Amino acid sequence: MSTFFEILSPSYLLFPALLGTAIMGLVCPLIGSYLVLRRTVFLGLTLPQIAAAGVSFTFWLQQSGFLPEWGQGERSVGMVGSLAFTFFGMGLLGYLEQRGKGMAEGRLAAAYALAGGLTILFIVFNPAGQIEVLNLLKGEVIALSQGELRLLAAVYGVVLVAILAFHREFLLISFDRDLAFLLKGRQVVWDVMLYLLAGLIIAFGVILAGPLLIFGFLVLPALAARPLVSRMSSFLILSSVFGLIMAVFGFYSSVQLDLPLGPTDVTLGCVVIFLAYGFSRLTARMGRALAIFLVCAAGSFSGCASRTTTVPVPDANSIHSQQLWLAKVKNSTALTLLLPATNPLRSLAEMAGKISSDYRQSVMDLLRDHLKAELEQKGFDVSLPEQKEARFPPLPADDKSALRLAREGQLSGIVFVSEIRRWEADMQKFVRVVADFKLVRIDDGAVLWQRRVQGAIPTPSATNLGQASSDAVNAIVRELFAG
C-alpha cells in the first residue's frame, strides 16, 4: 500500500501516469468551463465518443489490410484516427449548425448515438479480435510512457498557453455573443480557435486516457465550481482546482483500492459536485440566518432586502424626460436564469411558428417586461434599443461602460440600465438577490436615479423555483417604483 506522499515522489513507479492525469485535470476544465458557459456541455460527451469511433475505425482498416503496418505502436495508430474523426466531426457539426435547422442538442445527441454505434461495429468487424481495441479505448493511462507523457505535456501546454493568452476573447464570445458582435463584429476566428483547442485535448486525451475520463475532466469540475462563484475569472480558476483534486485524489484512491482510474476519477468528480452544492446551500442558509439576526437586532429595517437608497423611480415630468431607452437586463451571474416552460399553450405557439422552439423566457426578460410596464405608467416614452439595432447588447450598471455602449449605438435621451449580480432561487421560500438599477442621461452622463436591491426576497406563496423567481421579480419592481 502506497501512502499519499509516496505517489507524489518522482521516483514512484506510476508517477508519469499521475503527472499525465494531473495535466489533463488542469487543462481540460478550462475548455469545459467555456462549454458550460456556451450551454454546449453535451459537446464534451459527443466529441470523445467520435474520437473513440476514429480509433476503432483506424484499427479495423489496418487489421483488414487497407492500411499498411506502422512501426510507431498501437497508440500512434489510434491517435491518427482519433484526430481525423474529431476534427471531421467538429467540422460537420459546425457546418450543420450554420446551415441546418432544429435543436443543437438534437444534432449532438444523434452524433453521439451514431458514433457509439459505429465504435461497436468497427470493433466487431476487426478480424484481429476485440480485446486489444477495447483496452486501447479504455485509455490505459496507468501505462503512460515517458515519450507519451512528453507528447501530452507539449500538446496540453500549447492549449494552456493559448487559453491564457486569449481568455478575454473566449470569455466574451462564450458569455455574451451579442456584446461581442457589437464591439468587434463576427467572431468566427475565436469560435474556430476554441473548438480547435477542444479538439486537440479530446483527440489526444481519448487515446491516452479514454473517452470517459476526458468527458469527466471537461464537464464535472466546471459543474462543481458553478454554485460557489459569481465571477467568471473565479469560475475558471476553481474549475481547474477541482480538476486537479479529481486527478490527484482519484489517482490515489485508484492505487489504494485497486480500481480502474477513469471510473474512480469520474465518481470522485460527482462527489465533488454534490459537496459543492451542499456547501453552497449550507452557506446560503447560514447567511440568511445571520441577515435575519442583524435585521432584528438593528430594528431599523422593514424587510429582508437592503438597498443604497429608498427614493422611488422618478416620473417623466420631474426629470423633463425626452425619450427613455430600456436596455436589456444584464446577467452578471454564472447562471442562465432560464424560467421553466410551464405554459400549456407554448407547444401550440411553437407549431404555429410564433415563437422559436429554442426560446425560453429568462428572469431578465421577465424583469424587463415589468420595468417597461411601470415606466410607461410613470409617463415615459419607452423604446427598446434593439428596435434601433437588432444585436444591441445588455448595458451594465457601470456608468462609463453603459454610456460608451449607448453612445456607440447612437442612442440619445435617457437610458434605464439593470444588472443582476446575484440570483439564487435554490430555496422556494427565499430568492437571494443582488441587482443594480440606474437612470442615466446619455448626453452629459448624469445619473438621475440609482438603486441597489440586495438580500433575501421572501416568496412564501411560491410552489416551485420558477414561481419563486417570478414572485421575486414582482417584489423588486414594486419596491423600485413604490419607494
Structural domains of the chain sorted by starting position, each given as residue range(s) with its CATH number in brackets: 4-302 (1.10.3470.10), 323-482 (3.40.50)
Count of residues making up the chain: 483
Strand partners, 423: 433
Q: In this structure, how many other beta carbons lie within 10 angstroms of the beta carbon of residue 237?
A: 16
Q: What is the CA radius of gyration of the chain?
A: 26
Summarize pLDDT for 21-55 with one digit per residue, the tens: 899 999 989 888 888 877 777 777 787 888 888 88
What does 383-419 look like in DSSP terms, one character per residue?
E-GGGT-TTPPPPPS-HHHHHHHHHHTT--SEEEEEE
Nearby residues of 45 by Cβ (< 8 Å), 6 or more positions away: 108, 112, 215, 219
DSSP SS3 for 210: coil
User: Residue 232 in contact with residue 175, Cβ under 8 Å?
Assistant: yes
What does 36-53 look like in DSSP terms, one character per residue?
HHTT-TTHHHHHHHHHHH
Nearby residues of 216 by Cβ (< 8 Å), 6 or more positions away: 246, 262, 265, 266, 269
Q: What is the pTM of this model?
A: 0.54
What local confidence, expressed as pLDDT, does residue 304 receive?
Answer: 41
User: Residue 32 in contact with residue 183, Cβ under 8 Å?
Assistant: no
Q: Are strands 330-331 and 414-424 parallel, antiparallel or unpaired?
A: parallel
Rounded CA gap, 270 and 223, in Å? 9
Summarize pLDDT for 341-379 with one digit per residue, the tens: 654 444 444 455 555 545 578 899 999 999 999 998 888
Summarize pLDDT for 103-157 with one digit per residue, the tens: 667 777 888 888 888 878 887 777 655 555 565 555 566 667 788 888 888 988 9
pLDDT cut 70: percent of the chain above it: 77
Rounded CA gap, 472 and 425, in Å? 9
Average pLDDT over residues 311-332: 85
- Terminal C-alpha separation, the chain: 67
Strand partners, 440: 415, 447
Cell of 392: 444591441
- Phi first, then psi, for residue 165 (nearest 5°) are -75, -35
**Residue 310: closest CA among 452, 430, 190, 463:** 452
**Residue 76: closest CA among 200, 191, 207, 192:** 207
Summarize pLDDT for 243-302 with one digit per residue, the tens: 999 989 988 888 788 777 778 888 998 999 999 888 877 876 665 555 455 445 544 433
Average pLDDT over residues 323-336: 88
User: Residue 450 in contact with residue 436, Cβ under 8 Å?
Assistant: yes
Nearby residues of 370 by Cβ (< 8 Å), 6 or more positions away: 473, 474, 477
Detail the DSSP E strand segments found in 251-306: 305-306
Rounded CA gap, 246 and 266, in Å? 8
